Amino acid sequence: MNMKRWIALGAAILLFVVAAGINTVSSIMSMNWQSVMEDQLAPAGGQMEQVVEDGNARNRIALLRVDGIIQDTGAASPLFAPTGYNHQAFMEQLEMIREDKSVKGVVLYVNSPGGGVVESSDIHDKLVEIKEEKDIPVYVSMGAMAASGGYYISAPADKIFVHKETLTGSIGVIMESINYGGFAEEHGIDFVTIKSGEYKDILSPTREMTEEEREMLQTMLNDSYERFVDVIEAGRGMSEAEVKKWADGRIMNGGQAIDAKLADETGRLEDAIAGLRTDHGLEGAQMFEYSIDAGFGSLFGVKMQSLFQGDLESRIIGQVLSDYNSPRMMYLYGEK
C-alpha cells in the first residue's frame, strides 16, 4: 500500500472517530440527567425489618413510630425529599403487620402535634382493622407531644402510656387561611378572579370571607369534630358528655390526661413494651421495627437540602406560602 492510500485510510479513520465522538457528545447532552441521577441515587424504598429484642420469631411484637406532623407529602425526588414522617411508608407498614401472622402485638410510639384530617383517619382506621381482624393488642406510648391528630391515632389503643410532661389533648379541628387583600390594596395590586360559581373562590386570600361562607366551613369542621369525638368514645369507652368535657381544644399534660380518662398509665416507651408483654403473655416474643432502605440517594438528598435550603428568612417565607397555598381541615396543635 503506497503512501497516498495510507493517508486516505488514516483520514477515513479520523473522520470516523470524530463522527462517533460528535454523536456520543450529542447523546450525552440530550440525556435527562435529572432522571439519570434519580435512577442512580434513588432510595431502594423497601421496608426492612430490624430486630430490637430477640426472642420467639413466631410470636412477634411490632414497634411502630409516628414522629412529626401527620401529613402525606406525596412522592418527592429522592435528592430533595423532606425528612421526617412518611405517610405512605407508614401505611405500608400497617398493611404488612395486618398480613403478618407472626405479629401478636403492636406498640405505637407517638410524638406528633397531629396533622391532616384524612391522614389521621387513615392511620386510625387501619389500626382498628388490625385489632379486629387479627385480635391482637395495640399499646401506645406518647412522647413529648401527642396532641390533636396525635391523640386521634392513639385513641383505639388498648392502653395508653404517657410521660408526666407529655403534651396531649387539643381535641378538635382547625382550618386556617391567610388574607393579604388589605396589603395588596394598599400597594395598588388588583386581583382579577373569573369563577364558575359563587363559592368557587371560598377562602380566597385576596378578599374577606362572607358570613354564609363561614357558616358553610363551620358545618364541615363540626362534622369532623363529631367524628373525632366518636373515635374517642369508641376507643376509650367514654360517653359523649365525658369526651366533650375535654374536647374544646385545650391541651393537657400526662397526669391530667389520666385524670380525664384519656390515658391509662404513666410511663415511657419501655414501660409500654413491658406492659404489653406482661398483660398478654408475650414475655418471650421477638420485637422488631421497620426501617426504609433509603440507600445513598437519601443521604445525598439530606446534603442537597442543606445546601439549597437558603437562609432562615427565605425558609420561613417558603413555609408560609406552602402552608397556606391550599387551606384544609387539620387535627393539628401548634405551629405548622
For residues 175 and 221, give the distance between their C-alpha atoms in angstroms, rounded to a whole number: 8
Residue 304: closest CA among 91, 146, 83: 83
- pLDDT of 295 > 80? The answer is no
Of 171 and 292, which is predicted with more confidence? 171
From the list 120, 148, 154, 224, the catalytic residue is 148
Across residues 14-30, what is the average pLDDT?
A: 52
Question: Is 148 annotated as catalytic?
Answer: yes
**pTM above threshold 0.85:** no
- pLDDT of 200 > 50? The answer is yes
Question: Is 200 annotated as catalytic?
Answer: yes
For residues 37 and 55, give the distance between their C-alpha atoms in angstroms, rounded to a whole number: 41
Q: How far is CA 260 from CA 109, 152, 253, 255, in A?
A: 21, 15, 11, 9
67 contacts 90 by C-beta, under 8 angstroms:
no
331 contacts 119 by C-beta, under 8 angstroms:
no
- pLDDT of 79 > 60? The answer is no
From the list 200, 245, 291, 314, the catalytic residue is 200
User: Which pLDDT score, from 0 to 100, does residue 25 have?
Assistant: 47
Across residues 305-330, what is the average pLDDT?
A: 55
Unique residue bearing C-alpha cell 432522571: 35
pLDDT per residue as tens digits for the range 88-144: 999 999 999 999 999 999 999 999 999 999 999 999 999 999 999 999 999 999 999
| Opening angle at CA 194, ends 193 and 198, nearest 5 | 95
CATH topology of domain 45-172+236-322: 2-enoyl-CoA Hydratase; Chain A, domain 1 (3.90.226)
User: Which pLDDT score, from 0 to 100, does residue 75 have?
Assistant: 56
For residues 160 and 264, give the distance between their C-alpha atoms in angstroms, rounded to a whole number: 5
pLDDT per residue as tens digits for the range 165-193: 999 999 999 998 888 778 777 888 888 88
| SS3 category, 305 | helix
- Per domain, the residue ranges of the chain are 45-172+236-322
> Across all residues in the chain, what is the average pLDDT?
83
78 band by pLDDT with thresholds 50, 70 and 90: very low
User: Which pLDDT score, from 0 to 100, does residue 81 have?
Assistant: 47
